[in-house]
């Protein structure tokens, strides 16, 4: 599980996204999944961490995109 997650995370960072929302979602999901695994030490913790991280990262990225559009 850890190897697959790390491969997906590195691939996503390498490919990148066009918007800050997408980039924030990817980075947030990866960091959240790693934190969830470290805290919970199980798949449930990893999934919860990934979900929360993706949501928070997406919100932050969306806010950055809005600031670029409307300075």
| Distance between CA atoms of residues 18 and 3, nearest Å | 26
Q: Which residue has the higher pLDDT, 4 or 65?
A: 65
Structural domain boundaries of the chain? 24-63
Phi, psi of 40, deg, nearest 5: -85, -25
Q: What are 30-54's pLDDT values in tens digits?
A: 899 999 999 999 989 999 999 999 9
DSSP 10-67: HHHHHH--SSHHHHHHHHHHHHHHHHHHHHH-SHHHHHHHHHHHHHHHHHHHHHHHHH
Window from 3-7, 34-38, 41-45, 67-71 with minimum mean pLDDT:
3-7
**Whole-angstrom distance, CA of residue 20 vs CA of residue 11:** 17
């Amino acid at each position: 599980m850890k190897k697959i997650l790390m491969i997906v995370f590195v691939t996503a960072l390498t490919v990148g996204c066009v918007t800050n929302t997408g980039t924030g979602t990817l980075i947030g999901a990866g960091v959240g999944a790693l934190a969830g695994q470290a805290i919970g030490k199980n798949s449930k913790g990893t999934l919860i961490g990934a979900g929360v991280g993706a949501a928070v990262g997406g919100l932050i990225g969306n806010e950055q995109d809005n600031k670029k559009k409307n300075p």
